[in-house]
Amino acid sequence: MPRPSQDQDQALLAAGAQLYPALGCAGLSIRRVAEAAGVNPAMVHYHFGSKDAFLRALLQQHYEEMFAALSLTSQGDADVMERLAAALLGVARFVREHRPLIARVWADAQGGQAVAQDFLRANAPRHLGVLMALMQEAEARGRLPRQPLLTRFSFLMGAVVAPVVLVGGMQTINVVPPAVLAGVQGDVLSDAALQRRIEWALLGLASGV
């Protein structure tokens, strides 16, 4: 009997990524994922073993892509502030590009879905740790004044990432005021807008005010 195509697992994961933000852990069914991927439902069990294992693989795949890029930008010989800025940009881009999926993970975790809770417990400390280590290095090198680490971190996330989450959510439910709708992409969500907020936030931290 021929072995099932190894492309099927990626087709299933791609279909799951499209369906998960709207359906969540509870609403996503093996049959629906298989239909969207154009494969037999038995292939989900063949490749992943169970629905929960499939969901874990789906979430982890997206996260690992972001974390690999984050780890790469945080290392090397570049100035620590440049590495910190690049890491912040990478996180902000990930949130921008996967906001519906991220919002669903949070909603599922708050709703008691074990898969989402386990995913956040396992992975949130990883990227937070990279960013905090960069801030500590910047402080040790005299590039940032001594400040409470969590205060500094929450300020950066509020300045850089929070607008992406807020505006993205407002777009989803179509409540962005018409007067500002045209400027959302350029002024809030574009790479240029992200880089501006990162620059302003790091200048603010460096000033120590």
20 and 122 in a single domain? The answer is no
Q: What is the pLDDT of residue 97?
A: 93
Name the residue range of residue 15's domain.
1-49
Q: Are 201 and 155 in contact (CB under 8 A)?
A: yes
44 and 87 in a single domain? The answer is no
Q: What is the pLDDT of residue 9?
A: 93
Q: What is the pLDDT of residue 5?
A: 60
Q: Which CATH number belongs to the domain containing residue 3 in this structure? A: 1.10.10.60
7 and 73 in a single domain? The answer is no
Per-10-residue mean pLDDT for the chain, 209 residues long?
Answer: 67 96 96 95 94 97 93 90 96 94 95 97 95 95 94 95 89 79 87 97 88
Q: What is the pLDDT of residue 16?
A: 97
Q: Which CATH number belongs to the domain containing residue 191 in this structure? A: 1.10.357
pTM of the model: 0.90
